């Protein structure tokens, strides 16, 4: 029996010890908060907020005075308290598991208690004074005064013109930039000691009406005849209107320069004899010049209506100003490829029109996906080229009927013309182009077919000779015994025409120099 009593007493004593330890731990946990409140001489909280998630579900009347919004939430509470407790937002984002004290860096006698209550948060503003809200008001007033002073300095020292007019249009305030502009516009350029009576910019009442955002006005300084432009914007309220003017001189000068440049281009385009049609990225005609009207006979009303390139092609076909292909639909599809080539700057084609005219159409790319088509009338050039080709072919045919071999060389020795008799006798093939033949190569062939003689050296010197040249004739003996008469005549352009006249056929082909000597003796040479 005594053992049971002892066991009961031991168990009881253990329970008592555990209870004492738990009670001590609880006391220590709240000791920090109590000691802080005791050291601060805390009063009962006067402003309390109760948050649940992102919503404000309740607040005390004192706390409601700090909120300006009709439907406040967690964000508005943090915004209202951020001037006193800037770390509040970050503290709430990190999450809370126990009571947290957030002191104010502005005032040491004010602090914020944040206590988690399940899914809710309780925010309480506490302080040493009877009414901490009064101290909060003093801090906020100080911050507002600091901000007001900053705004005053910013507006006064702003490089942009700023001024305020009341509802009657009277100037009631202006910054230094506005007053400096007034000084520059006043006679004598003296400093104005007070606000000017007459506004610097006229007729701004209608501009300040709702729906208007920016208007451009100019003023003239006394020492500068050029206009100074400003872009003016307005902010209207029940007490008046605040105006802001930004210097727009660079923009105006750039626009003026661009306008003059466009006018210069337009005048240049108007004087061109080449038809010009510029299409934008939507494939619509954006610009054309008078030469295009004269060349295509398209009506001005049609072109000024900014037709698409397809519509312009159809109208050109109606006026027979397009090459008439066998399949126009296929040609139209091919023209789409031409569009792309024009944008890349690789399109160039001759249009042979039904009336005999010939247009050279060239595509040129422009910025932002636009492209230009240039129409050049080359009918006279094509006609002249055809006539020259006909004359050359006629002259060649006449030369080919002669029995004499005729060849023409430039001053540099390049072969430019030879008739059929020359090519046949000297085994010269001109099908690979006359550019592959020159005087040096031809002389080598002449020397191989003739006995040794100095006439080829003399002929080469005559061909390369500059200045006045005389007609030259020499004879040579060919390896088949025939006598060859070679004559050279200078012609225009520094060229030389050489003629070969062949004598009667020999009885045997010469094999060596002794045979040549015997033939020369027999012929009286």
Asked if 163 contacts 174 with a C-beta cutoff of 8 angstroms, the reply is yes
Q: How far apart are CA 415 and CA 407, in angstroms?
A: 7
The pTM for the full model equals: 0.45
Sign, CA torsion 186/188/190/192:
negative
Task: Work out whether the CA dihedral 448, 449, 451, 454 comes out positive or negative.
Answer: negative
DSSP 317: H
* pLDDT of 6 above 90: no
More confident residue, 394 or 324: 394
The answer to whether residue 355 scores a pLDDT higher than 50 is: yes
Confidence of residue 144 (pLDDT cuts 50, 70, 90): low
Least confident of 91-95, 184-188, 307-311, 347-351: 184-188
159-251 CATH fold: Beta-Lactamase (3.30.450)
H/E element, 322: none
**pLDDT at position 28:** 45
Q: What average pLDDT does this structure show over 21-43?
A: 42
> Which segment of 141-150, 158-167, 272-281, 414-423 scores lowest on mean pLDDT?
141-150
Residue 104: which of 116, 120, 122, 88 has the closest Cα? 88
Residues of the chain with CATH 3.30.450.20: 41-140, 274-377, 395-522
Q: What is the mean pLDDT of residues 242-266?
A: 86
**Which string of DSSP letters, residue by residue, matches 365-416?**
E-GGG-EEEEEEE-HHHHHHHHHHHHHHHHHHHHHHT-SSEEEEE-TTSBEE
pLDDT of residue 210: 60
Is residue 459's pLDDT more than 60? yes
Q: Which of 136-140, 291-295, 352-356, 388-392 has the lowest mean pLDDT?
A: 136-140
Dump pLDDT digits (tens) for 147-168. Answer: 666 666 767 778 888 888 888 8
Q: What share of the chain is helix, strand, coil (3-state, %, to 5)?
A: 45, 25, 30
pLDDT averaged over every residue in the chain: 77
Please classify residue 379 by burial: count the beta carbons closer than 10 Å to its beta carbon, then call 0-12 exposed, 13-18 middle and 19+ buried. Answer: middle
pLDDT band at 23 (very low <50, low <70, confident <90, very high): very low
Hey, what CATH class is 395-522 in? alpha beta
Check whether 353 has a pLDDT greater than 80. yes
Which SS3 state, helix, strand or coil, does residue 465 take? coil
Q: Report the share of the chain in percent with pLDDT over 70.
A: 74
Tokens of 480: 């088949």
426 secondary structure, DSSP code: T
pLDDT confidence of residue 157: 76
What tens digit of pLDDT does each residue of 462-519 get? 877 777 778 889 999 988 888 989 999 888 888 889 999 987 544 434 444 444 444 4
Closest CA to 420 of 408, 437, 405, 441: 405
Contact yes or no for 171/156 (Cβ under 8 A): no
What's the CA gap between 274 and 294, in Å, rounded?
10
Class of the CATH-defined domain 274-377: alpha beta
Residue 441 in this model has a pLDDT that exceeds 50: yes
Distance CA 174, CA 191 (A): 14
What integer pLDDT is reported at residue 520 of this predicted model?
A: 40
pLDDT of residue 45: 53
What's the pLDDT score for residue 486? 92
Q: What is the pLDDT averaged over residues 117-127?
A: 86
pLDDT of res. 223:
76
Residue range 198-207: mean pLDDT, rounded = 75
Can you spell out the DSSP letters for 36-102?
Answer: HHHHHT----SEEEEEETTEEEEE-HHHHTT--SSS-BHHHHHHHHTTT-TTHHHHHHH--SS-EEE
Q: Is the pLDDT of residue 280 over 50?
A: yes
The CATH number for 41-140, chosen from 3.30.450.20, 3.20.20.70, 3.30.1360.230, 3.40.50.450, is 3.30.450.20
Q: Which tokens go with 87?
A: 């770390």
Report the distance separating Cα 318 and Cα 311, nearest Å: 11
Is 323:352 a contact under the CB 8 Å cutoff? yes
Interhelix angle 31-40/2-29, nearest 10 degrees: 40
Which of 33, 26, 28, 31 minimizes the C-alpha distance to 114?
33
C-alpha 312/C-alpha 445 separation (Å) is: 61
The Cα 163–Cα 240 span in angstroms is 11
Least confident of 122-136, 264-278, 313-327, 361-375: 122-136
């Amino acid at each position: 029996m005594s053992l049971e009593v002892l066991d009961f007493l031991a168990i009881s004593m253990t329970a008592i010890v555990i209870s004492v330890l738990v009670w001590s731990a609880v006391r220590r946990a709240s000791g920090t908060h109590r000691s802080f409140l005791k050291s601060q001489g805390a009063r009962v909280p006067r402003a309390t907020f109760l948050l649940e998630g992102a919503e404000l579900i309740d607040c005390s009347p004192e706390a409601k005075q700090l909120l300006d919004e009709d439907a406040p939430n967690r964000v508005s509470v943090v915004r209202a308290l951020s001037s006193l407790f800037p770390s509040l937002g970050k503290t709430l984002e990190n999450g809370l598991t126990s009571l947290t004290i957030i002191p104010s860096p502005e005032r040491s006698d004010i602090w914020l208690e944040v206590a988690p209550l399940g899914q809710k948060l309780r925010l309480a503003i506490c302080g040493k004074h009877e009414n901490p809200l009064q101290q909060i008001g003093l801090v906020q007033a100080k911050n507002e005064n600091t901000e007001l002073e900053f705004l005053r300095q910013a507006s006064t020292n702003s490089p942009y013109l700023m001024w305020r007019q009341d509802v009657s249009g009277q100037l009631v305030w202006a910054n230094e930039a506005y007053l400096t502009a007034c000084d520059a516009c006043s006679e004598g350029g003296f400093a104005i000691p007070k606000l000017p009576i007459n506004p610097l910019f006229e007729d701004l009442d209608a501009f300040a009406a709702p729906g208007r955002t920016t208007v451009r006005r100019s003023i003239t300084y006394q020492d500068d005849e050029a206009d100074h432009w400003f872009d003016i914007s307005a902010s209207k309220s029940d007490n008046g209107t605040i105006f802001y003017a930004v210097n727009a001189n660079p923009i105006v000068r750039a626009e003026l320069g661009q306008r003059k440049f466009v006018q210069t281009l337009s005048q240049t385009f108007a004087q061109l004899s080449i038809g010009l049609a510029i299409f934008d990225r939507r494939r619509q005609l954006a610009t054309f010049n008078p030469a295009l009207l004269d060349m295509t006979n398209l009506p001005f009303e049609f072109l000024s209506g900014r037709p698409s390139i397809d519509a312009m092609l159809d109208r050109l076909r109606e006026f027979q100003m397009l090459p008439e292909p066998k399949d126009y639909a296929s040609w139209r599809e091919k023209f789409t490829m031409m569009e792309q080539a024009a944008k890349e700057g690789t399109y160039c084609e001759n249009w042979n029109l039904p009336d005999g005219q010939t247009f050279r159409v060239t595509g040129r790319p422009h910025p932002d996906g636009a492209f230009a088509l240039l129409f050049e009338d080359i009918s006279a050039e094509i006609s002249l080229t055809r006539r020259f080709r006909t004359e050359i072919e006629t002259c060649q045919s006449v030369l080919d009927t002669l029995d004499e071999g005729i060849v023409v060389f430039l001053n540099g020795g390049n072969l430019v013309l030879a008739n059929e008799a020359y090519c046949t006798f000297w085994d010269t093939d001109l099908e690979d182009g006359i550019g592959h033949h020159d005087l040096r190569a031809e002389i080598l062939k002449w020397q191989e077919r003739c006995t040794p003689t100095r006439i080829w050296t003399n002929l080469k010197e005559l061909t390369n000779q500059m200045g006045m040249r005389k007609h030259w004739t020499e004879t040579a003996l060919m390896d088949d015994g025939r006598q060859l008469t070679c004559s050279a005549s200078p012609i225009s352009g520094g060229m030389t025409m050489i003629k070969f006249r062949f004598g009667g056929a020999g009885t045997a082909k010469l094999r060596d120099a002794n045979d040549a000597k015997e033939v020369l003796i027999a012929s009286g040479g």
